[in-house]
């Protein structure tokens, strides 16, 4: 896939995901550091958060570069180059929202209390065992 970032044309490779919702990630993945594909290791339940964050960042920081998206300690982490104050606030809002959203399905969730901390809804917590 070829994406545009300002005047720079960049090639991106989409890692396979566990869900058809990967199209949501295609909105974000073109905005990367130009050296490699973006590392992203989040479940499809957070793709909506990422879509909203990307839309906001395109308003506040249209030339932002994305380096990594991941889950850490049950919350979203979104690593970019320098952002404006409004851009940092948008990232903070998205990261906070992730702690109340199931990473697998997008329904309301809470961080697990033991083991690898993940934010999940009750059915996904039960499935995880």
Per-residue pLDDT of the chain (129 residues; tens, 9 = 90+): 233 334 333 333 333 334 444 555 655 555 554 544 555 678 989 989 998 998 899 899 988 888 888 999 999 999 988 899 999 999 999 999 999 999 999 999 999 988 889 999 999 998 775
Domain definitions of the chain by residue range = 2-128
pTM for this predicted structure: 0.75
8 A C-beta contact, residue 84 and residue 60: yes
Question: For 2-9, which contacts have Cβ atoms below 8 Å and span 24 or more sequence positions?
Answer: 3/29, 3/30, 3/31, 4/30, 5/30, 5/31, 5/34, 5/63, 5/65, 6/63, 8/34
């Amino acid at each position: 896939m070829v994406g545009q970032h300002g005047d720079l044309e960049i090639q991106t490779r989409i890692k396979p995901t566990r869900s058809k919702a990967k199209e949501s990630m295609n909105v974000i993945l073109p905005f990367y550091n130009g050296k490699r594909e973006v590392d992203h290791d989040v479940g499809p339940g957070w793709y909506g958060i990422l879509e909203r964050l990307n839309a906001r960042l395109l308003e506040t920081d249209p030339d932002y570069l994305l380096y990594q998206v991941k889950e850490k300690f049950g919350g979203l982490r979104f690593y970019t180059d320098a952002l404006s104050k409004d851009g940092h606030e948008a990232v903070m809002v998205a990261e906070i929202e992730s702690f109340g959203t199931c990473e697998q399905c997008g329904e309301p969730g809470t961080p697990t209390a033991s083991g690898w901390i993940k934010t999940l809804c009750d059915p996904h917590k039960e499935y995880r065992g």
